[in-house]
Amino acid sequence: AQKVTQAQTEISVVEKEDVTLDCVYETRDTTYYLFWYKQPPSGELVFLIRRNSFDEQNEISGRYSWNFQKSTSSFNFTITASQVVDSAVYFCALSEARETSGSRLTFGEGTQLTVNP
């Protein structure tokens, strides 16, 4: 069975600080996909990134960066120079590549990030 764990329930930082959100996953499959979503107070889950299990190259997109390490089953997300608008709940999710899984996402518990001015 697949599982995603986000051990940090809440994180509070001051604007311009860097913050890293941790994600650890479990799966028996060798091919899978990892995602990060952001949920602002409006409720809509906003897609941030998707990575497949064969691509461990880390990625930077503006103030966002992701660190995928298969050896430790982790897919961490860093926001550099945080801003108040980054305040939201962030979810890490896993999707297995088998036919029966379809587009099914298994989500972590979420991390509430609060960026204070």
Partner 1 sequence: KAGVTQTPRYLIKTRGQQVTLSCSPISGHRSVSWYQQTPGQGLQFLFEYFSETQRNKGNFPGRFSGRQFSNSRSEMNVSTLELGDSALYLCASSFGHQNTEAFFGQGTRLTVV
> What beta strand segments (E) does 41-110 contain?
46-52, 59-61, 64-69, 74-79, 88-96, 106-107
| Between 102 and 117, CB nearer to partner 1 | 102
CA 23 to chain centre: 6
Question: Using CA atoms, how far apart are residues 85 and 71, in angstroms rounded to an integer?
Answer: 33
For residue 102, state whether it binds partner 1 (rule: CB under 8 A). yes
Of 8-16, 32-40, 63-71, 78-86, which part binds partner 1 (CB under 8 A)?
32-40
45 Cβ contact list (under 8 Å, min separation 6):
37, 38, 39, 91
Q: What is the smallest separation between the CB atom of 17 and partner 1, expressed in angstroms?
A: 27
Q: What is the smallest separation between the CB atom of 110 and partner 1, expressed in angstroms?
A: 7
For residue 53, state whether it binds partner 1 (rule: CB under 8 A). no
Q: Name the site residues for partner 1 (rule: CB under 8 A).
A: 33, 35, 37, 42-47, 50, 52, 91, 95, 97, 99-110
